[in-house]
A and B are shown apart, each in its own frame.
Chain A
Amino acid sequence: QSALTQPASVSGSPGQSITISCTGTSSDVGGYKYVSWYQQHPGKVPKLMIYDVTNRPSGISDRFSGSKSGNTASLTISGLQAEDEADYYCSSYTNSGTLYVFGTGTTVTVL
């Protein structure tokens, strides 16, 4: 099972919006609603930001939103803030033997 494809880096200025893509196949992203996104600051534990494509857990800012079209899922961060600078990983259910697969990860830089 190959990792889902994410851009290595995305950057934006404070207040701007950025979008991180996560491309898979019909066996994972495209075939199921089970896509989630995680934020990880250096040396910290990953934090759930979005689950089931569009749902935000309690306590997560509404500046974070998720969507999906075909085999590509996306995470949009609106009103970019310095604290959003981190690594972001997508994840999807897969019908392979691993059950779930992660994306390659994207480093977000706030200029």
Chain B
Amino acid sequence: EVQLVESGGGLVQPGGSLRLSCSVSEFTLSDYGMHWVRQAPGKGLEYVSAISNDGTRIYYGVSVRGRFTISRDISKNTLYLQMSSLRTEDTAIYYCVRRLPNTSKFDYWGQGTLVTVSS
């Protein structure tokens, strides 16, 4: 069964850093585009970052550009999101999502990990 399991969330002070991980099983990261999507409490969905299936193309949302870095380790079947210079407005549930290349088929989502930025 395809699974995506996020970890690494927690409470961090403004200006701090955090690294999220997304461990995947029953598929290979090199076969899918991978995305981080977040949802602030009571708010809508927002695309944060993406990496193409071949790893050559990386994208960031305007609100996180220059502060967040997406990466992956194929051998560990793990996707990462390094977050730095965190702001209170980064408080959200962060979901790891896979997408079939050349489609808009975001078919599997992780359960999400909560990041709280507060002093």
Q: Enumerate chain A interface residues (CB-CB to B < 8 A).
A: 1, 3, 34-36, 38, 40, 45-48, 51-52, 55, 57, 89, 91-93, 97-105
Contact of B50 among A48, A55, A91, A99 (CB under 8 A): A99
Give every chain A residue within 8 A of B37 (Cβ-Cβ).
46
Give every chain A residue within 8 A of B45 (Cβ-Cβ).
38, 40, 46, 89, 91, 102, 105
13 contacts between A and B (CB under 8 A): A3-B44, A45-B110, A45-B111, A48-B106, A48-B107, A91-B45, A97-B65, A98-B61, A100-B50, A100-B104, A102-B47, A103-B44, A105-B45
| Contact A99/B59 with A45-B95, A45-B112 known, Cβ cut-off 8 Å | yes
New contact pairs (18) apart from A51-B106, A57-B105, CB-CB < 8 Å: A3-B44, A38-B45, A45-B109, A48-B106, A48-B107, A51-B103, A52-B105, A55-B105, A92-B104, A93-B104, A97-B59, A97-B60, A97-B65, A99-B50, A100-B50, A102-B44, A102-B47, A105-B44
Nearest CB in chain B: distance from A86 CB, A: 13
In angstroms, Cα B60 to Cα A35, docked, is 19
Number of CB contacts from chain A to chain B under 8 A: 68
Nearest CB in chain B: distance from A3 CB, A: 7
SS class of chain B's interface: helix, strand, loop or mixed? strand
- Is the CB–CB distance between A35 and B104 below 8 Å? yes
Of all chain A residues, the one with the shortest Cβ separation from B44 is A105
Of all chain A residues, the one with the shortest Cβ separation from B93 is A45
- Is the CB–CB distance between B105 and A51 below 8 Å? yes
Nearest CB in chain A: distance from B89 CB, A: 15
SS class of chain A's interface: helix, strand, loop or mixed? strand
Interface centre among A3, A36, A100, A104 (most CB of B within 10 A): A100
Interface size range of chain B in the complex: 20 to 34
Against A, the Cβ 8 Å flags (1 = close, 0 = not) of B33-52 are 00101000000111100100
Give every chain A residue within 8 A of B47 (Cβ-Cβ).
98-102
Interface centre among B45, B47, B106 (most CB of A within 10 A): B45
B2 sits at the interface (CB 8 A): no
In angstroms, Cα B106 to Cα A54, docked, is 14
